[in-house]
């Protein structure tokens, strides 16, 4: 597996899923240089101080993934992405059909990268049946990834289980960011249903992984992050 030219330490994206920005800053300070890339999402957005936290992280030379999953009429999504494009974030997520993804891509500017959500890792076959998707999970991920690339998105969010099919069938320039990571096979998945280990994610062709609870809830979050960094360095060597 040939990996893209990405700094190994930037390949770990820590999901900063905490109730407020004060806790986020405290945890980021504790993690120090063990983490260079942070995902901040809807919980922190609703707590207040989201953009102040974004600026605080950028001032400390951290990369930021704004996981906001924009989903609205195309004009509104395009305007939202346009408002974000000069804030210094590296990634933003969009969720929706072709015209929504196209509107996001058209307004992302030169530095912000748009990632299309394929199928949330909290969903399994039964959930897709409930949503009315009468197709295989892998087929749906592949279809949505193709449409994201056609729409001008830079990459997708995909479970590591489906990444091999993406690499076999889609241009390698597509960025693949994989959530639902568990450091070892026997860790409980919580609300994540389609999970893989760090080694499997990169072996399957992921460019980045998103890890939250295995770091956040560890006895020493910094040590947990460093252990994952060591695994990544070996996996992409």
Question: What are the residue numbers of the active site?
Answer: 69
Helices (H) then strands (E): counts for the chain: 11, 8
Q: Taking the alpha carbons of 121, 237, 63, 81 in that order, is the dihedral positive or negative?
A: negative
**CB crowding 150-182: b at 16 or more within 10 Å, else e:** ebebbbbbbbbbbbebbbeebeeebbbbbbbbb
Closest to 208 measured CA to CA, from 169, 168, 165, 154: 154
CA atoms within 13 A on the CB side of 227: 14
């Amino acid at each position: 597996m040939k990996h893209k030219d990405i700094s190994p330490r930037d390949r770990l994206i820590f999901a900063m899923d905490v109730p407020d920005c004060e806790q986020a800053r405290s945890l980021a300070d504790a993690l120090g240089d063990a983490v260079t890339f942070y995902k901040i999402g809807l919980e922190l957005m609703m707590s207040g101080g989201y953009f102040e936290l974004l600026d605080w992280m950028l001032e400390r030379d951290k990369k930021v993934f704004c996981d906001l999953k924009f989903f609205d009429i195309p004009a509104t999504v395009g305007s939202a992405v346009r408002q974000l494009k000069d804030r210094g974030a590296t990634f933003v997520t969009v969720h929706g059909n072709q015209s929504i993804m196209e509107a996001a891509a058209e307004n992302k500017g030169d530095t912000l990268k748009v990632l299309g959500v394929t199928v949330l890792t909290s969903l399994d076959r039964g959930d897709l049946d409930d949503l009315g998707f009468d197709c295989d999970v892998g087929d749906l991920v592949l279809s949505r990834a193709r449409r994201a690339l056609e729409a001008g998105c830079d990459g997708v969010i995909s479970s590591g289980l489906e990444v091999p099919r993406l690499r076999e069938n889609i241009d390698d320039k597509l960025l693949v960011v994989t959530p639902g990571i568990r450091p070892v096979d026997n860790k409980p998945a919580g609300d994540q249903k389609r999970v893989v280990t760090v080694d499997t994610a990169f072996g399957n062709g992921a460019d980045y992984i998103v890890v939250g609870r295995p770091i956040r809830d560890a006895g020493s979050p910094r040590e947990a992050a460093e252990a994952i960094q060591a695994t990544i360095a070996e996996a992409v060597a």
